[in-house]
A and B are shown apart, each in its own frame.
Chain A
Amino acid sequence: MLDRHNHVLQLIGVIVLALLILPLGIVVVTSFGTEPTISFPIKGFTLAWYANIWTQPAFVDGFQSSLTIALLASLLALLIGVPAVYALTRFDIPQKAWFQTLFLSPTLIPEIVIGFALYQTLVIAWRLPLWPSLLIGHLLLCLPYVIRLVTSSMLHLDPHIEEAAWTLGTSRPRAFFTIVLPNIRTSIVAAFMLCFINSFNNIPISLFLNGPSQNMLPTAILNYLQNNYDPTVSALSVVLMLFTAVLMLLMEKLLGVGALTTTETN
């Protein structure tokens, strides 16, 4: 157990928190500065940079496609991942360990390699358009989160409760929806949030599958920074922070308290 009164630990905690929060605080401050380049401390106050975000089509389009891809990839990852986890934890499947490693492998390979491999295969070799390629790339990114979180909560769920439902006259699919799903809901919500945030923020995979016709927000920001160093990027960062915070609060409120802070059910 950690000793709560250990001052050294407290100090380390404060330093870590400060290192996490300070840069964000500086970004927030710089977004209101009047200078044409990002500088700290600021000399005057303006909201002009916030207005400037909406004049950049790359940001507006990027936001829309990042949002669409993140939502779709997260949903698809759940639709594929949850049944896969159910099968892996409830049926005797030959080569079970091999499948488990396969599903988790995207976390083991550097994302930049995945991006490059997908670009080579999907775009160059198969001549797939960019949008579906991006979706596949982000799906690969999301799947391990679903597999890992949902597996851990399935393993904590007594298999007998499902059997009890069957003996009470409930068919297997129906028991899955009425008994299993409500009890792994927390991990599904958490997995969805992690998928969404990781997909929405992803650069390495999007970088390879980006094009003039297909813009993603993080890569758009990167491009913008190469040519401009004005506080528009700070303003956009603040907007994104607020967007993510609101989204998480909404999920917490709608889908249950503790969904994001606990990984276990019951």
Chain B
Amino acid sequence: MARLTLDSLAMTYGHGDPILHDLSLAVADGQLVSLLGPSGSGKTTTLRIIAGLLQQTSGTIKVDDEDISRVPVYKRGLSMVFQSYALFPHLTVFANVAYGLKRQKLSKADITAKVTAILQTTGLTDLAERYPQELSGGQQQRVALARALVVDPRLLLLDEPLSNLDAKLRVAMREEIRRLQLQLHTTTIFVTHDQEECFAISDKVAVLNQGKIEQYAAPEEIYHHPQTEFVARFIGFENFLPVNGTVADHAYRVGDQTVAVAGPTKPDAKVLTIRPNQIQLSPDDQGLSGQVTIRTYLGSAYRYTVDSPLGTLQIDGPTETPVAIGAPLHFTLPADQLLPLEA
């Protein structure tokens, strides 16, 4: 139950390239915020700096108004769930969960009561006397969560906690995490490279690229209005049309073509982007025309790679009327779906 403020964090290992540049982030009390990015983007480094497992080169970390930038990890009052779960192999589930409480000045009865309660909440009561190696991945994950939550941390830090689970369990566990987080009102930082996963449960998402935050907003905002080409690519925009200039206030020049958009044009726009499923196929020979070079079956649709006057485009089409490779494809770009990006 706390606010987290990161101010101008920077991190460099030795004399190498910086891992983080000037990273700032504010997380409100009780929110679940995801750090989303590909591997090497600095998301895990950021999390480990918050935890105190890594020392930042510069910048400050505040929890509420307390500056914890130089506080050792064991005094920060944050708990962390690791990708490998990191359960203590020589302790039972009960003792694993009780471990953190033993460092707090609590009576034995209080410890037992707290552990019993959290085991109940996480559905682990029947497994209390088992050892970690006797548990399935999902059960180990629950124990790791229970162990982190029982100490009533000011912040809960989750480092790709779902990536070792199979697809079905992953969906169930992410809902479980969200349920517990809302129930206990614990401010949570969730690191992931899976956009679906983080959109599903986050209040806000910070998209990281090469140690910088590219965009920090609610999932809906990021999904519909990515601000940079990197963010757009990461969340499924496949088509990026380089812009040469504007035509009055309603269209852009792309190659020797004119592409109309809704709303006023931005003079600084560098690319236009659109998702493959937002491009409309024309039933007649209207609109633009291109030639299909690759066809991929996606289950819900066919995805065509099309050579067109605008360049190579990814276009989704219905499965009922497949277009053959080599055949022409007619399509239009809906003006209200085209998104101009400035970077």
Residues of A within 8 A of B (CB): 158, 160-161, 163-172, 178-179, 182-183, 265-266
**Count, A-B residue pairs, CB within 8 A:** 71
A148 to chain B, nearest CB (A): 22
Query: Is A158's CB under 8 angstroms from B84's CB?
Result: yes
Query: Is B73's CB under 8 angstroms from A166's CB?
Result: yes
User: Is B230's beta carbon under 8 Å from chain A?
Assistant: no
Most buried by B among A160, A164, A167: A167
Known A160-B84, A163-B51, A182-B90; 12 more pairs at CB < 8 Å: A158-B84, A161-B89, A163-B80, A163-B86, A164-B86, A166-B74, A167-B157, A168-B147, A169-B103, A170-B103, A183-B89, A265-B89
User: Is B151's beta carbon under 8 Å from chain A?
Assistant: yes
In Å, the complex CA distance between A69 and B53 comes to: 42
Interface of A is mostly: helix
Residues of B within 8 A of A (CB): 51-53, 72-80, 82-84, 86-90, 99-100, 103-104, 133, 144, 147-148, 151, 157
The 28 sampled A-B contact pairs (Cβ below 8 Å) are A158-B84, A160-B82, A160-B84, A160-B86, A161-B87, A163-B73, A164-B80, A164-B87, A164-B144, A164-B147, A167-B52, A167-B73, A167-B78, A167-B148, A167-B157, A168-B74, A168-B100, A168-B103, A169-B74, A169-B75, A169-B100, A170-B74, A171-B74, A178-B99, A182-B90, A183-B90, A265-B89, A266-B133
List the A residue with the shortest CB-CB distance to B96. Answer: A164
A58 to chain B, nearest CB (A): 46
Enumerate chain B residues within 8 angstroms of A266, measured Cβ to Cβ. 89, 133
A175 to chain B, nearest CB (A): 8
Interchain CB contact (< 8 A) of A168 among B52, B83, B99? B99
Enumerate chain B residues within 8 angstroms of A179, measured Cβ to Cβ. 88
Enumerate chain B residues within 8 angstroms of A265, measured Cβ to Cβ. 89
Interchain CB contact (< 8 A) of A167 among B79, B83, B90, B104? B79
Query: Is B100's CB under 8 angstroms from A163's CB?
Result: no
Enumerate chain A residues within 8 angstroms of B144, measured Cβ to Cβ. 164
